[in-house]
Amino acid sequence: MRFLDEMIELAEPLIREKGCEMADAEFVKEGSIRILRFYIEKAEGAVTLDDCAAVSEEISRAIDERGDDGQEDYTLEVSSPGINRVLKKEKDYERFSGSKVDVSLYKALNGDKKPVLILNGHSGGVFSFTDPDGNAVELKDSEVSRINLHFDFDF
CATH code of 3-79, in short, is 3.30.300.70
Per-residue pLDDT tens for 53-103? 999 999 999 998 887 666 678 999 999 998 888 999 898 999 899 999 999
Per-residue pLDDT tens for 126-146? 999 999 999 999 999 999 999
Q: How far apart are CA 104 and CA 52, in angstroms?
A: 29
C-alpha dist (Å) from residue 119 to 14, 26, 100, 132 = 31, 24, 6, 11
Look at residue 1 and tell me whether its pLDDT is greater than 60: no
Q: How far apart are CA 102 and CA 132, in angstroms?
A: 12
Provide, rounded to the nearest whole percent, the portion of the chain with pLDDT above 90: 75
**So where are the chain's domains?**
3-79, 90-149
- 140: amino acid identity, one letter: K
CATH code of 90-149, in short, is 2.30.30.100
Q: How far apart are CA 29 and CA 119, in angstroms?
A: 31
Look at residue 45 and tell me whether its pLDDT is greater than 90: no
**CB-CB contact of 38 with 22 (8 Å):** yes
